[in-house]
Amino acid sequence: MTVDFDSVRLIDVSRHFGRRRALSRVTLSANRGDILGLLGPNGAGKSTLIGILATLAAPSAGEVRFDDHPARALGAGLRSRIGLLAHELHLYPELSARQNLVFFAELYGLDKCAVVDAALERAGLHERADDPITGFSRGMRQRLALERALLHEPRLVLLDEPFTGLDDRAVDLVSERLRQLAASGSIVVLATHDLDLADGLVTHVALVRDGRLIADEPAGTGLRARYRALIGAA
Amino acid sequence: MFLRTAWLVLRKDFAIEARSWEVLTTTLFFAASCVLVFAFAFVKEGRAVEDAASGILWIAVAFSGTLALGRTFERERYSETLRALLLAPAPRPALYIGKLLGMLAILGVAEALLVPMVAFMFQATLFARPLLLLGLLAGGTIGFAAVGTLFAAMLVRARSRDVLLPILLYPITIPVIIAGVRGTAALLESPPDEPIALMWIGILAAFDVVFVTLALWTFEPLMTE
Q: Is B174 helix (H, G, I), strand (E, B) or coil?
A: helix
pLDDT of residue A227: 78
Task: Give per-residue pLDDT as tens, A199-215.
Answer: 888 999 999 998 999 88
Domains belonging to chain A, first-starting first, are 7-233 (3.40.50.300)
Edge-to-edge, what's the strand order for the sheet holding A35-39?
A82-85, A156-160, A187-192, A35-39, A204-209, A212-218
B195 preceded by cis ω (within 30°)? Answer: no
Task: Indicate the pLDDT class of residue B225, thresholds 50, 70 and 90.
Answer: low
Comparing C-alpha atoms, which of A140, A139, A182 is closest to residue A157? Answer: A182
* A-interface mutation test, from B87, B99, B220, most A Cβ less than 10 A away: B87
**Residues written for chain A:** 234
Q: With CB atoms and an 8 Å threshold, state whether B83 touches A90.
A: yes
Q: Are B38 and B127 in contact (CB under 8 A)?
A: no
Q: Which residues pair with A204 in a beta bridge?
A: A36, A218
Residue percentage of chain B with pLDDT more than 90: 78
Task: Indicate the pLDDT class of residue B224, thresholds 50, 70 and 90.
Answer: confident
Task: Indicate the pLDDT class of residue A147, thresholds 50, 70 and 90.
Answer: very high
Contacts of A58 in chain B (CB under 8 A): 224-225
pLDDT, greater one: A119 or A227: A119
How many inter-chain contacts (A to B, CB under 8 Å) are there? 70
Contacts of B91 in chain A (CB under 8 A): 76
Contacts of B78 in chain A (CB under 8 A): 93
* Domain extent listing, chain B: 2-223
pLDDT of residue A232: 67
Region B55-73: what's the mean pLDDT? 94
Cα nearest neighbour of B82 on chain A: A90
Task: Give per-residue pLDDT as tens, B148-203.
Answer: 999 999 998 888 888 999 999 999 999 999 999 999 999 999 898 999 999 999 99
Cα nearest neighbour of A2 on chain B: B89
Contacts of B15 in chain A (CB under 8 A): 95, 99
Q: CB within 8 A of B163, min separation 6: which ones?
A: none
